[in-house]
Amino acid sequence: MAILVTGGTGYIGSHTVLELLNAGYDVVALDNLSNSSKKSLQRVNELAGKEAKFYEADIRDEDGLRNIFEKENIDSIIHFAGLKAVGESVEKPLLYYDNNIHGTISLLKVMKEFNVKKFVFSSSATVYGVPAFVPITEECPIGEIPNPYGKTKRMIEVILSDMVKADPEFSLILLRYFNPIGAHESGMIGENPNGIPNNLMPYITQVAVGKRAELGVFGNDYKTHDGTGVRDYIHVVDLALAHVNAIKKLEDFKGTKIYNIGTGNGYSVLDVVKTFEKVNGIKIPYSIKERRPGDIDECYASSKKALDELGWEAKRGLEEMCRDSWNWQKKNPNGFED
Ligand code: NAD
Ligand code: UFG
């Protein structure tokens, strides 16, 4: 029996495949390689000392998916495949609705044909919009989601939950991630953004490696301890391990469960910059810029439900996140292209 990991060569997918292999699971990864490289999985296999199977396939291609389900004995699915660039989703909403929503529906149709009823979905804290309160619990109301990317996450949550209501045999876990950063401690796998990074940590590491001159800090007049935006950064290995616990949890219940996956700690942009500088001994020049549209003051999780029900909590702190992000970037200045 194997776990199908869609988006398995991507940033979070590759780290999760590694932890699943380490935990003894058989893994089948699929990806259309639109935002990743096959090399990530080669490195995962090297690190694990065993192999995940790989299929180059698009989740919108039902026949391609059927071929995989026919060949492999799939028992459960972790669904990472999707496009995730917020700005691009505003410019190209149809691309996002087609790729993320149509893709997920195709996957669900084929999964149903093959009677697979265990599913973990990569959702996001973005579904809380401007959070009604912090720390954000799973009871926090769903907010106004400011971009098509975030809306696809919420729409997929709704589609999946309706599917579960229609089938009492189904077990679904929605994981709402906060801000994943960091990399495997080996520095062999990590985040490899195309073009100018949108997110804070890859931007900082590209400044550190000399690819960008300085970091723009988007606003210093937020209602936070130093005026810069506060987020709940989570080490990608901790996040990957949350999926291993989620896979085990799927055996224990039928229906839908939702968990926030964060550390419970909020750090500002300047906290991250200062910690990165201290841990790695590198100066990060920065200047204060205008606020970025759609950004919020602060966003951090209550991680209590994940601890109580999944037996999972984040173990790695901000210093390890900064050290491992830099270790990956300096060993792989051009990502997987070297
Ligand atoms: P990523 O881009 O590294 O991984 C996504 C993978 O999906 C890529 O390898 C891409 O090639 C693949 N893919 C995209 N469309 C596909 C399709 N139609 N068919 C097959 N493969 C396809 O991104 P990531 O950071 O690893 O994110 C993984 C998941 O987690 C995504 O669903 C993302 O929305 C979600 N998520 C990410 C974050 C974050 O900050 N990184 C936060 C919350 C949620
Ligand atoms: N920031 C900067 N300069 C940059 C990049 C970011 O100051 O060059 C700031 C932002 O203004 C924000 C913080 O750093 O205050 C974090 O920004 P990110 O872009 O790294 O992350 P976001 O919180 O905006 O969004 C991320 C993912 C979303 C996901 C969300 C979940 O990009 O996909 O986390 O909380 F939905």
CA of 16 to the centre of ligand 1 (A): 12
- For residue 233, the CA-to-ligand 2 centroid distance in Å is 10
Residue 311, pLDDT score: 98
First to last CA, the chain: 35
Q: Residue 253: left (phi > 0), alpha (psi -120 to 50), or beta?
A: beta
Q: Which of 122, 156, 179 to mutate to test the pocket of ligand 1 (most atoms within 8 A of CB)?
A: 122
Running DSSP on this structure, what letter comes out for residue 32? -
Could you list the active site residues?
A: 149
Residue 135 main-chain phi, psi, to 5 deg: -60, 145
Residue 118: the pLDDT is: 98
Query: What is d(CA 122, CA 68) in angstroms, rounded to the nearest whole number?
Result: 21
Say how far apart CA 312 and CA 233 lie, in whole Å.
16
Model pLDDT, residue 337: 86
Closest ligand to Cα 191:
1
83, two tokens: 């496009």
E strand spans, 226-321: 230-231, 233-235, 255-261, 267-268, 286-289, 298-299
pLDDT at 319: 98
In short, whether 286's Cβ falls inside 6 Å of ligand 2 is no
- Residue among 136, 176, 269 to mutate when testing ligand 2 (max atoms within 8 A of CB): 269
**The ligand 1 atom nearest the CA atom of 192:** 3
Quote the Cα angle for 310-269-84, to 5°: 60
For the Cβ of 152 lying below 6 angstroms from any atom of ligand 2, the answer is: no
pLDDT at position 132 is 97
- Residue in 249, 225, 229 with CA at minimum distance from that of residue 178: 229
Q: Which two tokens stand for residue 215?
A: 């970091």
Nearest Cα residue to atom 28 of ligand 1: 80
Q: How far is the CA of 78 from the centre of ligand 1 (A)?
A: 12
For residue 311, what are the CA distances in angstroms to 18, 130, 248, 304? 20, 28, 10, 10
Residues 116 and 76: beta-carbon distance below 8 Å: yes
Burial class (CB in 10 A: 0-12, 13-18, 19+), 104: buried
Can you count the helices (H) and strands (E) in the chain? 12, 14
Strand spans (E) along the chain: 2-6, 26-31, 53-56, 74-79, 118-124, 171-177, 179-181, 215-218, 230-231, 233-235, 255-261, 267-268, 286-289, 298-299
Question: Ligand 1 pocket: which of 11, 95, 100, 155 to mutate (most atoms <8 Å of CB)?
Answer: 11
pLDDT score at 338: 63
Full pLDDT tens readout for the chain, 338 residues: 999 999 999 999 999 999 999 999 999 999 999 999 999 999 999 999 999 999 999 999 999 999 999 999 999 999 999 999 999 999 999 999 999 999 999 999 999 999 999 999 999 999 999 999 999 999 999 999 999 999 999 999 999 999 999 999 999 999 999 999 999 999 999 999 988 999 999 999 999 999 999 999 999 999 999 999 999 999 999 999 999 999 999 999 999 999 999 999 999 999 999 999 999 999 999 999 999 999 999 999 999 999 999 999 999 999 999 999 999 999 999 999 86
